């Protein structure tokens, strides 16, 4: 799933990018990623995992639906920025683009996406595509959310970790 921007830094360029967005204050990463994809494309999704994250990044990316999501603290709107590459699973396929911000939306094959000149020249996008391809080939595990309650807060939150490798460790009898 890729979009072309009607407004923003990629406006008017022949560049397809993954849906992106900014979390609302107090919004969890997984809920913000689901909301942003729905707002921009009309597609319902479920959160799978965080594949990678970077601080102080420019954000623009997503694949099958591997979506980028920004959580800001001080850079944009006086906040610094964390960039999250998230994998979402589509639950619907009927595209309904957001008219205000999005010029076009479409499903795109991996090879067609990586063939774009901008993607080939950008180091961040090259890493993102390698991560997504490794994930598709089952050679990569990201960070899955587990709903928790901590004594630090009475509210539910999510702890994100590599559950595949932790489960291997725990099943082998090795304790952390």
Q: Give the domain ranges of the chain.
A: 2-137, 143-173
Question: How much of the chain is helix, strand and coil, in % rounded to 5?
Answer: 25, 35, 40
**Residue 82 phi, psi dihedral angles, 5° rounding:** -115, 135
Residues in the chain: 176
Angle at 44 between CA 3 and CA 158, to 5 degrees: 105
Residue 56: what pLDDT?
59
Residue 63: what pLDDT?
33
**Residue 60 phi, psi dihedral angles, 5° rounding:** -170, 95
β-pair partners for 145: 160
Considering only the top CATH level, what class is 2-137?
A: alpha beta
155 is an active site residue: no
Distance CA 38, CA 3 (A): 12
Q: Report whether pLDDT(57) > 60.
A: no
Q: Report whether pLDDT(23) > 90.
A: no
Q: Of the listed 39, 101, 103, 136, which one is catalytic?
A: 39
β-pair partners for 149: 156
pTM of structure: 0.78
**Residue 125 phi, psi dihedral angles, 5° rounding:** -65, -35
Q: What percent of the chain has pLDDT over 90?
A: 34
**Residue 173 phi, psi dihedral angles, 5° rounding:** 90, -5
Residue 47: what pLDDT?
93
Residue 78: what pLDDT?
53
Task: Dump pLDDT digits (tens) for 68-125.
Answer: 444 444 444 555 567 889 999 999 999 999 999 999 999 999 899 999 999 999 988 8
Distance CA 176, CA 166 (A): 9
**Could you tell me how far CA 23 lies from the centroid of its own chain?**
12
Edge-to-edge strand list for the sheet holding 66-74: 45-55, 79-90, 66-74
């Amino acid at each position: 799933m890729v979009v072309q921007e009607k407004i923003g830094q990629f406006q008017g360029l022949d560049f397809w990018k993954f849906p992106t967005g900014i979390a609302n204050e107090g919004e969890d990463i997984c809920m913000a990623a689901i909301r942003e994809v729905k707002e921009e494309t009309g597609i319902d999704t479920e959160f799978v995992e965080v594949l990678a994250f970077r601080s102080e990044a420019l954000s623009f990316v997503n694949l099958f639906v591997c979506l980028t999501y920004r959580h800001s603290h001080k850079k944009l709107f006086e906040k610094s920025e964390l960039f999250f590459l998230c994998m979402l699973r589509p639950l619907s396929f009927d595209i309904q683009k957001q008219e205000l911000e999005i010029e076009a939306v479409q499903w795109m094959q991996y090879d067609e996406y990586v063939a774009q000149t901008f993607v080939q020249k950008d180091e961040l996008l090259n890493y993102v595509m390698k991560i997504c391809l490794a994930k598709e080939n089952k050679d990569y595990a990201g960070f899955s959310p587990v709903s928790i309650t901590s004594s630090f807060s009475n509210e539910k939150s999510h702890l994100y970790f590599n559950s595949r490798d932790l489960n291997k460790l725990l099943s082998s009898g090795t304790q952390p």
